Amino acid sequence: MKINLDRTSSGFCIGVQGTIHVAEEKLAQSGELYCLGDVVHNEVEVKRLEALGMETIDIPAFEELRNAEVLIRAHGEPPSTYDTARKNNLAITDTTCPVVAKLQKTARMLHQLGYQVVIYGKKVHPEVIGINGQCDDEGVVIKHPDLSDPVEIEPLDLSRKTALISQTTMDVPGFYELKKNLEKLFAEHGHRNPGTQSGEWMAVRDIDITAEKTGARAMPELVFKDTICRQVSSRNGKLRDFALSNDCIVFAAGRKSSNGQVLYSICRDANPKSYFIEDVEDILPEWFVGDDGKPVQSVGICGATSTPMWLLEKVAQYIERTFAHDSGAPDA
């Protein structure tokens, strides 16, 4: 049995990696640090950092905290969080992912320009809460690109100028499906950009938004900006190929991880013998037996953008030690 560890399209993305690095540095200096919400959606990694002195707190506890240092994780936070920090004399260590911080700025400017901001994402996801906070919590959050949930689209004002953006970790095909369906919906109600027959919305760049804000050049009433992180979305195809190239897949991620659920689904669609775990205790021996009753030839180990590489290495070593008696060391 050959153990293949995916080191190219699994493990922390840059944003999460930066947050974990800062958390480790702060804990090494003082031995204590508060974190607002799970530092990453991976319970195993959260427990490791809590063992080093980090304390995870929720919003009510944060609002009661005084004179302490608090880590803002990669997901980012709404402006209200920083207002509370100033009021309570809290020292903020801000590790908001640069991609998310840029998106927050985009959302804020579009809202200030009077656009109805539509966010492709999950309403309760911390990143979306932070983005919507830039819009005074007036953004319309849509998770289903086919517009199948009437509750999601009920707040839409089809007469207003509107801008579509996205949570950074959503899927690219879904974003463009949502764009197409919004174009159709607005056009059916007589709202389309001047000069367009089929209701196309205009793609805008940061420079276009700045030009509108300064009065140098106006933008159309219906616009979109693809704000999905390509470092995350580019993993999809690579993981699909990785899943196809192995007899079975062991996918490690936190059950709270939105990205983990998406990537695991990609693996499972490509290879039905894909199995989700949080840690080695979840592994079952029957996964490594083929339909012919013999051990599988290859096992692929992979994970989400919120899965630490040390955990993937732990999983590979455990399978190697427990099930792959005659094979060599795990491949890089």
Predicted structure pTM score: 0.91
Number of C-beta neighbours around residue 107 at 10 A = 24
* Residue 5 contacts residue 299 (beta carbons within 8 Å): no
CATH class of 99-224: alpha beta
Q: Which amino acid is at 274?
A: S
Partners of 302 in the beta sheet?
251
CB neighbours of 304 closer than 8 A, spacing ≥ 6?
10, 42, 251, 252, 253, 254, 257, 259, 260, 263, 264
Judge whether 2-10+232-324 and 99-224 match in fold. Answer: yes
Partners of 223 in the beta sheet?
163, 202
Amino acid 119: pLDDT = 98
Was 97 annotated as part of a binding site? Answer: yes
| Fold held by 2-10+232-324 | Cobalt-precorrin-4 Transmethylase; domain 1 (3.40.1010)
Nearest CA to 56 out of 126, 118, 103 is that of 126
Amino acid 296: pLDDT = 95
Where do we find the tokens 């002195």? Answer: 53
Was 257 annotated as part of a binding site? Answer: yes
Was 189 annotated as part of a binding site? Answer: no
Amino acid 180: pLDDT = 97
Amino acid 327: pLDDT = 41
Was 111 annotated as part of a binding site? Answer: no
Nearest CA to 288 out of 231, 232, 244, 247 is that of 247
Was 75 annotated as part of a binding site? Answer: yes
Phi, psi dihedrals of residue 104, rounded to the nearest 5°: -60, -40
Give pLDDT tens digits along the chain (332 positions).
999 999 999 999 999 999 999 999 999 999 999 999 999 999 999 999 999 999 999 999 999 999 999 999 999 999 999 999 999 999 999 999 999 999 999 999 999 999 999 999 999 999 999 999 999 999 999 999 999 999 999 999 999 999 999 999 999 999 999 999 999 999 999 999 988 877 899 999 999 999 999 999 999 999 999 999 988 888 999 999 999 999 999 999 999 888 899 899 999 999 999 999 999 999 999 999 988 899 999 999 999 999 999 999 999 999 999 997 644 444 44
Nearest CA to 297 out of 59, 43, 1 is that of 1
Amino acid 328: pLDDT = 40
Amino acid 325: pLDDT = 67
Was 191 annotated as part of a binding site? Answer: no
- Is-catalytic flag, 69? no
What is the Cα–Cα distance from 331 to 15, expressed in whole angstroms? 26
Was 21 annotated as part of a binding site? Answer: no
Each domain of the chain, given as residue ranges in start order, spans 2-10+232-324, 14-96, 99-224
Amino acid 241: pLDDT = 97
Determine which one of 77, 127, 212, 221 is catalytic: 127
Query: What would be the CATH architecture of the domain defined by 14-96?
Result: 3-Layer(aba) Sandwich (3.40)
